[in-house]
Amino acid sequence: MEQIFGNENEGGGAAAAMDDIEFPHLRSLKLLRLPELKNFCSAFKDDPDEQFLFDKKVALPALEKLEILGGGNFKEIWHPQFSVTSFSQLKILKVANCNKLLNVIPFNLLQSLRNLEKLCVARCDSVEEIIEVGRLGVEEGNASAVLSQLRFLVLGKLPKLAHLWWDFPHGALGCRNLTSIHIFECNSLKSVFPHSIASSLVQLQTLKIVSCQMMETIIAKDRDGDVEIIVFPQLRTLVLKNLPKLMGFYTGRCTQKHETNDKALDESTEEGDLCISIQPLFDDKVCIKFLI
């Protein structure tokens, strides 16, 4: 199967102009094991070389759950001119086994995903970034609304994933409601987030980073220089396992100091799981108040 909805005029000359196709009551969409899937609807494709799953004229305004689990012939999920209201109710997004996919969320769609609570991406061999950067900026006044409801983030087996939010404007992805992060087998990833993002994770309860071979630090320093202390007031579970190049939890400088909780790891660290250089894993730049 190459498309879910085909063009009635295929093979009979140029297709007539069509209005938008809308599913006003569709709440859940699951595309499972469709290795030849190219697009959701072929009737709107002006350029046969375009490789978007959803064209700009497809509207799913009530959709709350989207699962794309095995699609092989599209490089992006959304057209860059996609309707900003179409996915405004989306709460759960799961993407897996899409080996041509380059990124998951286009930058200009972020403002629409204000209700997104769970994001899971796994086993996509070509994904280089979860959120595409560079096409459009985020206005300062709207920055706090971007992904503000995201609670669960799972990323696994993404061999080309190089960064998550590395180039984003300060504060653009606050993610203040994020409670759980699980990243595993992302072997090009050198850090999880910059200080500007880490400092906003006041609700984070679980952080698991496992088997990321190039991981050097969990929190990367910002370009601005000195920063204030990093506090994770709600963190309960911290797992750092099989990270052979890990040098420290944070590698920047801070202007304030605080004693670090000695019981920093929720699990006992197995021999060989952490490779620590001269600097300690946790220093006076990290405060984990309630980790048990």
pLDDT digits (tens, 9 = 90+) for 245-277: 998 888 765 443 333 343 444 443 443 343 333
Per-residue pLDDT tens over the stretch 144-182: 457 889 999 999 999 999 887 655 655 556 678 999 999
Paired tokens of 146: 């971007």
- Give residue 29's pLDDT: 94
Instruction: Answer whether residue 223 is part of any domain.
Output: yes
Instruction: Answer whether residue 86 is part of any domain.
Output: no
Q: Give the confidence band of 6 by pLDDT, cuts at 50, 70, 90.
A: low
- Give residue 240's pLDDT: 94
Q: Tell me the Ramachandran region of residue 108: left when phi exceeds 0, alpha when psi lies from -120 to 50, beta otherwise.
A: alpha
Residues 261 and 206 sit within 8 Å (Cβ to Cβ) = no
Instruction: Answer whether residue 202 is part of any domain.
Output: yes
- CA 151 from chain center: how many Å? 12
Instruction: Answer whether residue 101 is part of any domain.
Output: no
Instruction: Answer whether residue 113 is part of any domain.
Output: no
Residue 46 has pLDDT above 70, yes or no: no
Q: How far apart are CA 114 and CA 150, in angstroms?
A: 8
Residue 65 has pLDDT above 80, yes or no: yes
Q: How far apart are CA 204 and CA 263, in angstroms?
A: 17
Instruction: Answer whether residue 235 is part of any domain.
Output: yes
Instruction: Answer whether residue 94 is part of any domain.
Output: no
Q: pTM, whole model, 2 decimals?
A: 0.80
Instruction: Answer whether residue 133 is part of any domain.
Output: no
The residue segments making up the domain with residue 257 are 151-292
What is the rounded average pLDDT for all residues in the chain? 76
Number of structural domains found in the chain: 1
- Tracing tokens 């396992």 back to the chain, one arrives at 241
In sequence order, what DSSP letters do the residues of 106-130 get, joined into one string? -GGGGGG-TT--EEEEES-TT--EE
- Give residue 148's pLDDT: 85
- Give residue 189's pLDDT: 95
Of the ranges 1-15, 202-216, 270-284, the best mean pLDDT one = 202-216
